[in-house]
Amino acid sequence: MNNKIKILIIEDDLFLRRLCQKKLEKEGFEVVLAEDGKEGIEQAKKNIPDLILLDIILPNTDGFEVLKILKEETSTKLIPIILLSNLGQKEDIDRGLSLGATDYLIKAHFSPQEIVDKVKETLKK
């Protein structure tokens, strides 16, 4: 049994998923991975994480849809979700935040360290 803080990464790009996982593990988090929206929802329900990093362009169910479903579900609606996407148009950001995302980070604008900082900051709240 461990009492590490659990982060779920829902990200379809193998490289970015792996890099993000490495960074978070180095910082002492437990990392659960999902490579598409459907798997992400299943993981979130089965294995309630402390925080979710969610991509938007995903196979099967896209990130907005995942966000909507998780925010409607009683067991998952309180989990803070940070959108981590390379879409950066205003309407994408507005849509994400209005669906209940805690934050919206554009991947290419943030380094792994900055993402970790955001994760820690969100968990403190």
Partner 1 sequence: MNFFKQKKCDPEEVIKYQNSLAELDKIAKMLIKRDLALSDSKEKLTVEKGKVDAVINSLTDGLIMIDQGQRIILINPKAQSILNIEEEKIIGKALSELINFPQIKELYEILTKTAGHCREKQCELILKESVEKIFEMQTTLVVTEAQEIIGTLIILHDVTRERLINKIKSEFITIAAHQLRTPLTGIKWSLEMINTDEITKEEQKEFLDKAYQSNERMIRLVNSLLIVSHLEEGCFVYKFSKIQMEDLIQEIIENFKIQIKNKNIECIFDKPKILLPKIKVDLERIQMALENLIDNAIKYTPQKGKIIISLKESDNKIEVSIKDTGMGISKENQERLFTKFFRSAEALKIETSGSGLGLFIAKNIIEAHKGQIWVESEEGKGSEFHFSLPY
The SS3 assignment for 50 reads coil
> Among 14, 46, 74, 78, which residue sits at the site for partner 1 (rule: CB under 8 A)?
14
The verdict on 68 binding partner 1 (CB under 8 A) reads no
> Among 45, 48, 59, 72, which residue sits at the site for partner 1 (rule: CB under 8 A)?
59
Q: Which CB, 20 or 81, lies closer to partner 1?
A: 20
Show Cβ contacts of residue 83 under 8 Å, excluding neighbours closer than 6 positions: 54, 55, 56, 63, 67, 96, 101, 103, 104, 105
- From residue 92, give the alpha-carbon distance in Å to each of 10, 50, 105: 18, 24, 11
Binding site for partner 1 (CB under 8 A): 12-16, 18-20, 22-23, 26, 36, 57, 59-60, 86-89, 106-108, 111-113
